[in-house]
Amino acid sequence: MTSSSTTSSGTSLDQRISQVRECLDEHTRDIIAWHFDPKTGCPFWLDYAETMSFDPRKEVKAYDDLDKFDNFQDQWLREGDIRRWVPKGLAGKPIYVFETGGSTGRPKARINIEDFKIDYELFSGTLSDEAFPKGADWLMLGPSGPRRLRLAVEHLCQFREGICFSIDLDPRWVTKLIKSGRMTEMHEYKDHVINQGLTLLRAHENIQCIFTTPKLLEALCEKVSLKKLGIKGVFCGGTQLTAQFHRFAREELLEGAIEFVPTYGNTLMGLACHKPYVPEDNYSVIYYPPSPRAMIEVVDPDNTDRVVDYGETGRARLTTLTKEFFMPRFLERDEGVRHAPCGAFAWDGIGDVRPFSGFATPIVEGVY
Amino acid sequence: MLHIPALRLGQPYESMTKVEILHHATGEPVALVSQVNSGIIGRDRNLIADDVLENYSVAELLEMSRHAAELFMTASLPLGDTMQSFNDYVKQLSSTTGMPITYCRHNASKIYNVLSQIETVIRGLTRGFDLSILDVGHGKSAGGTLSFFRDGRVFGAVLPSNSPGVHSLWAPAIALKAPLMLKPGREEPWTPYRMIQAFIEAGVPKEAFGFYPTDHAGAGELLRQVDRSMLFGGSATTAPYKNDPRVEVHGPGFSKVLFGEDSVDDWEKHIDMIAASIAANGGRSCINASGVWTPRDGREIAEALAKKLSTIQALPADNADAQIAAFANANVAKQISAMIDNDLNIDGATDLAQACRSQERLVHLGRCAYLLPTIIHCDDRDHPLSNREFLFPFASVVECPVDQMPASIGPTLVATAITQDESFKKRLMACSHIDRLNIGAIPTYQLSWDQPHEGNLFEHLYRQRAFQVESAA
């Protein structure tokens, strides 16, 4: 489904979809050339290439050709030497390692050099200066430890000329408490986290922006009015975010006075932007990936090569295409509805994202 | 389609998240029920005025409760954007729960009885002191000073779908001045919503009511946010709260009929009463007997019960002769039946109902399933089936020497002891396993509302304090 609507530059959405696709195809060729060149690629993909039945540098000419790869296995990120993921072309650069939450077993680890900064600088361009003023300070009320978010939000804040205050939060401990039914202890820990945030908010008047998760936002707003504390913008993500929560946050928690920016992202892919809020979307939370650096397809869970039709629900399939990390066709633990390109996003989006219902054992979501 | 909103401080709230509830037999959608996110519960707990009912005397609230009883049974009351008659209510209740229409009416009459006799119920809970003491906070009773304060500022309940009669248990909270936050069962929003509307129509301020259809996390949040609560559910649901004094747990009842040595020879006289205790209300209540303990003749008693209950058939809910409820989810019935069969493979237990029936225990009728009454004879009182409870007429007949019975029966919500043996009676009176004790051939489901049932709501909500006033000079 496409649209003939035009932008201020006079380009129709159909034309932009076509342009973006060409850009994606070209980007895909560049990334394949980088990762499978013995001079620049990482040991993992160079070794893997020897087991493949085709030469990706010859046969991947467009993004769709990545279907020739098998689905990326998350197990590859849970074990083995982390240095096998460092591209030779980036040898000698300072390396970060970021881990996933660990709620589905041993955490997945991914190396990072500049990607998280680039992702969040691009994302910064989608934030309004009224709600997230340049020079305003931030509160990072989210996970600490080996998390991309911890540094990425701080970088976003610094990129916008602010100073970022943060707290201690171990989400793996929260998950353990929930799994073992120790809900009283879980709430005590949540209170401990919220109290750290409240102390910072009350001590630093220039904090005008917050990153937090849906559950921590609820808990924070039970204690204080963020409007009265002078908060102007809330950037929210980390766990499932429903249309009902979106409405509740805008209307009640943020009292209709604070900008609310939901996001969907993870250590492996980067950060997907939320389609700007318009009442016609009925609070649906629709995300668009940062093409061409990463893509999300919504696929049939029983035939993961098939992208479902617009409006249909399927499992999220991620592809990351940066010089630091190549991850083709990774089946995420989420499902959602496929959305058509729109406005600034001339590629597919995913809406109403929630944990994939096809797992035998439901995933435990903590505060993060 | 009919939409049932949440109620936030009495105001209807349409959520972006709605759950469709289906007709148990046809699978057709009956209503959409707005679901609240757990943050709404925390937010409303902060907004609710916990003294909203303090502007009324207990006498006024008792009168409103009595009026609500009449309205519940007769009036057209708001249901979302529509009005609901009593007959609509009964049909809707039966449609989503699978409960026979006749039982729906019977359960409604239980609620009517509690509300219309609310003063008797409250006096049973408060042991007869002058209720105006609750208006003033202190007063004289039996020559002494009494003073109470309400610790349960907001009362909550996480409610079940299996038996509408249980809603009579939270109803006295209004006369005791506690605002309510209720989470209905998924398939049974009907009864609590209608009771709330009856109270509002009778003059209770709507701000005293919260009605929050929600998920498992929301239920946990409700129990955490309110000061005092009731929780209904199976063992897995209630176990985390069993040591939490703020939560009154209503789990499986494991109610039983016990024979003494002196009366067991007359067991045939009591078969009708025992069969009714097992099967009344479709066998779905915690006050249904799920065990019969006897010093001897266990097999004969079990055979007689099996024969008596073998006449019960799987019939559609609108059939006037229907006595058991349908399982809207046929898989649940299948799993329960398979669980029983699996345990029967262990030596020491026999299903005696199977020989009396012309059908298997599990019966399919259209898209739903039924479980026919099942009577197990246990030679071994440690057998896995000797002390079980299911959502259909099921009982185990267990042989056990009378002197070992009080220590062996385990937690028992209602014990009906058929005996005149003073020594046995005395030991049962001292038995901490038993919550309600009936001496004589009293059906387990027969409750006297002038006495507390499974916890005392007044004591749950109020605390007594020492109180003195300086004498006027």
Top-confidence residue, A265 or B169: B169
- Does residue A267 have a pLDDT over 90? no
| Residue A152 belongs to some domain of the structure | yes
> Which ipTM did the prediction report?
0.83
Residues A68 and A6 in one domain: yes
Distance, in angstroms, between A149 CA and closest chain B CA? 24
Percentage of chain A exceeding pLDDT 70: 94
Q: Give the best residue of A244, A251, A253 to mutate against chain B (max B CB count within 10 A).
A: A244
Distance, in angstroms, between B152 CA and closest chain A CA? 19
Q: For B303-362, write each residue's pLDDT tens digit.
A: 999 999 999 999 999 999 999 999 888 899 999 999 999 999 999 999 999 888 888 999
Q: Cβ contact (<8 Å) for B39 and A218?
A: yes
Q: Identify the CATH number of the domain in which residue A241 sits.
A: 3.40.50.2300
- Does residue B155 have a pLDDT over 80? yes
User: Using an 8 Å Cβ cutoff, are B301 and B260 in contact?
Assistant: no
Q: Give the best residue of B43, B45, B212 to mutate against chain A (max A CB count within 10 A).
A: B43
Distance, in angstroms, between A87 CA and closest chain B CA? 44
Structural domain count, chain A: 2
- How far apart are alpha carbons A50 and B219 in whole angstroms? 54
Q: For B238-266, write each residue's pLDDT tens digit.
A: 888 888 999 999 888 999 999 999 999 99
Contact pairs from chain A to chain B, CB under 8 Å: 39
Residues A25 and A156 in one domain: no
Provide, as residue numbers in chain B, all residues whose Cβ is less than 8 Å from the Cβ of A252.
40, 43
- Does residue B163 have a pLDDT over 90? no
User: Does domain B38-251+454-464 correspond to CATH entry 3.40.605.10?
Assistant: yes
Residues A239 and A301 in one domain: no
| Residue A180 belongs to some domain of the structure | yes
Its domain, for residue A64, covers 1-89+290-368
| Residue A269 belongs to some domain of the structure | no
Q: For B332-344, write each residue's pLDDT tens digit.
A: 999 999 999 999 9
Q: Cβ contact (<8 Å) for B39 and A244?
A: no
171-190 in chain A: CB under 8 A from chain B: 181, 183, 187
Looking at residue B350, its pLDDT comes to 94
Average pLDDT estimate for B275-302 = 94
| Residue A312 belongs to some domain of the structure | yes
Q: For B86-119, write each residue's pLDDT tens digit.
A: 999 999 999 999 999 999 999 999 999 999 999 9
| Residue A100 belongs to some domain of the structure | no
Of B16, B38, B43, the CB nearest to A283: B16
pLDDT, chain B, mean: 94
Q: B246 and chain A: CB distance < 8 Å anywhere?
A: no
| Residue A300 belongs to some domain of the structure | yes
Q: Cβ contact (<8 Å) for A242 and B35?
A: no
| Residue A120 belongs to some domain of the structure | yes
Residues A144 and A195 in one domain: yes
Nearest Cα residue in chain A from B224: A184
pLDDT, chain A, mean: 91
As a CATH number, domain B255-439 is: 3.40.309.10
Q: A365 and chain B: CB distance < 8 Å anywhere?
A: no
47-106 in chain B: CB under 8 A from chain A: none
Of A248, A282, A283, the CB nearest to B39: A248
Q: Cβ contact (<8 Å) for A248 and B37?
A: yes
Q: Sheet containing B349-351: which strands, arranged edge to edge?
A: B349-351, B374-378, B394-399, B289-294, B255-259, B412-418, B434-439
Closest by CA to B399, choosing from B378, B373, B376, is B378
Q: For A8-42, write each residue's pLDDT tens digit.
A: 556 788 899 999 999 999 999 999 999 999 999 99
Nearest Cα residue in chain A from B36: A244
Q: B38 and chain A: CB distance < 8 Å anywhere?
A: yes
Q: For A166-189, write each residue's pLDDT tens digit.
A: 999 999 999 899 888 888 899 999
Looking at residue A276, its pLDDT comes to 86
Q: Cβ contact (<8 Å) for A218 and B38?
A: yes
Q: Cβ contact (<8 Å) for B17 and A243?
A: yes
Provide, as residue numbers in chain A, all residues whose Cβ is less than 8 Å from the Cβ of B214.
none
**Domain boundaries defined on chain B:** 38-251+454-464, 255-439
274-303 in chain A: CB under 8 A from chain B: 282-283
